Structures are given as C-alpha cells and as structure tokens.
Amino acid sequence: MKKIGIIGCGWLGGHIAERLSGQYEIFVTITSPSKVEDLTSKGYHTTLVDFPNDLSETMTEWEVAPQLDAVIITVPFAGVRGAEIPLQGKAQNLLTFLGDYKGQLFLMSSTGVYPETEKEFTEDDRSADDVPSESVIKSIFPHVNILRLAGLMGDQRLLKNYNISNLDLLVNHIHYADICSVVEKMLNNQSQSKVYNVVAPVHPNKEEIINAQKDLPYSGERTTKGRTISSAKLISELDFEFEYPDPRYFHL
C-alpha cells in the first residue's frame, strides 16, 4: 500500500485522511498530544510536531518522509483574508522537517492571495512566485502543487451558524468533500507543479445561502457585489465535476 503524509491533521487534514485511508497508509502530524489516541485508533501513524513562527534550533527531518509517496501540507501560512503572517522562521522549520523530499507534494494555500477587487480572478492574475507563502515552498520544491482554497465549508461549517455581515456580498466557498476529490484525482494523475483555484463554481450572495440553509425563500435580486474566483482551469484540466457546485446546498 502506498504511503501519504499529512502535515497538519486539523479539520481539513482530518477529512482528507479519512477519504484516503482506504487507499493509503496514513502518516499525520499534529500539535496536540490529546489527539494522538483518537488518530492512532483510526490507524494513522502520528507525529507530534509544531512549526513556530521563529526558527527552531531543535527541528529535525521527518523520519518517514523518504518513504512517503505524497505529502500534503495543510499548515497555514496566511492569516485572516490571506494576510501574510511571519514566514521565514515558520517556513524554514517546515523545510527542515521535509528535508530532501522527492515525492508528490501539495500545499494548501488560500484564495486570500487575490486582492479585494470586484472582478473575477484566475490563477494567472497572481503568480505563485509573487505570493510569499507559496514561493517560499516552491523555491525549494518546484514540483509542488498549490491549491488555493476558497472559504472552507461543510459539516457544521455553514453560514447559518455564524454571525454574518455584508449579506449582499457574493461568496467564494468550497465544500471539504470537493477538496478531497481534487486531491484524490491529482494523486491518481501524478500531477506536478500545478496551481489551481479550488472554488465552487456558483457564487450566490450570503443572504441567499443562509435562507436556503434555513429553508426560507429568497426574494431579493442577485447582486454582483464583490470579487469572484474562477475554478475554470481546475474543471478543464482535471475534467473535474463538483459534488457541491452551489454553496446554497452545502448542507444537503
């Protein structure tokens, strides 16, 4: 059985591990000792490690890295709305941990790399070389696949469960199940050096979504206020079909 590593087995990493567990031997990293027992019970091999923002003199290479067929990095390198957080120390710690890794590599980035401008953005609008949180990994691992994820939704992560403002703004959201499917397809294709926006192709406004999730009618007019992120490249190159193309129905 092939082996896959997930650096940062939080909410998203956990869903990816669950999807791939029947096909791969799963190796994960976590920061919390309290999660070890739960993840071990699922058959995952766990490593306790943190990636502080300051350079760590005690960081060592992940012993299992040379054995892994693929590694997925879900450790965040961006803050709220994609704002860059201190990178150099954190990135160097991660690079030290990966060592001279040669296998397939994925970096979970964010659509927050695009400016808050009212237009539709494609991957060509911002090169990975111009995004510090992406280029710092790409400079050492040019074969890395970069997935720019929209707002993560699914399970209990539904707009109706949050205190939401600016209800007329269009959304860029993605259901975790579709992220898992994209990763799965790229693993099977042995994809290398790809940059994709992973975003549901339908962009309703927030009020439409909340009303749909509360089973209420929506009588307002669709606005065009706010930026949208295109997933056309992903759909075309991967021949990808979204399981959840419309955020209004993420709860179903």
| DSSP-based three-state secondary structure for 233 | helix
The share of the chain scoring above pLDDT 90, in percent, equals: 82
Count of CA atoms in the C-beta half-sphere (13 A) of 44 = 29
Residue 81 has pLDDT above 60, yes or no: no
Q: Per the domain annotation, does 165 fall within a domain? A: no
pTM of the model: 0.94
250 within a domain of the structure (yes/no): no
DSSP 48-96: E----SSPPTT----TTGGG-SEEEE----B-GGG-B---HHHHHHHHH
- pLDDT band for position 82 (cuts 50, 70, 90): very low
**pLDDT score of 225:** 77
Instruction: Residue 31: give the domain boundaries.
Output: 3-158+174-201
Q: Is the pLDDT of residue 23 over 80?
A: yes
| Residue 26: CATH number of its domain | 3.40.50.720
DSSP one-letter string for 4-48: EEEE--SHHHHHHHHHHTTTEEEEEEES-GGGHHHHHHTT-EEEE
62, 99 in Cβ contact below 8 A? yes
Indicate the pLDDT class of residue 86, thresholds 50, 70 and 90: low
Q: Considering the domain boundaries, does residue 99 fall inside one?
A: yes
The burial class, CB within 10 Å (0-12 / 13-18 / 19+), for 204 is buried
Query: Is residue 87 one of the residues assigned to a domain?
Result: yes
Q: What is the mean pLDDT of residues 89-107?
A: 94
Residue 249 lies in a domain: no
pLDDT digits (tens, 9 = 90+) for 102-128: 999 999 999 999 998 999 999 999 999
209 within a domain of the structure (yes/no): no
Positive or negative, the Cα torsion across 9, 12, 15, 16?
Answer: negative
Q: What is the pLDDT of residues 163-212, one digit of tens each?
A: 999 888 999 999 999 999 999 999 999 999 999 999 999 999 999 999 99
> Is residue 229 in a domain?
no
Asked if residue 252 belongs to a domain, the reply is no
Q: What are the CA-CA distances from residue 39 to residues 21, 47, 177, 216 (Å)?
A: 12, 10, 20, 39
Task: Give the Cα separation of 237 and 105 in Å (integer).
Answer: 18
User: How many domains would you assign to the chain?
Assistant: 1
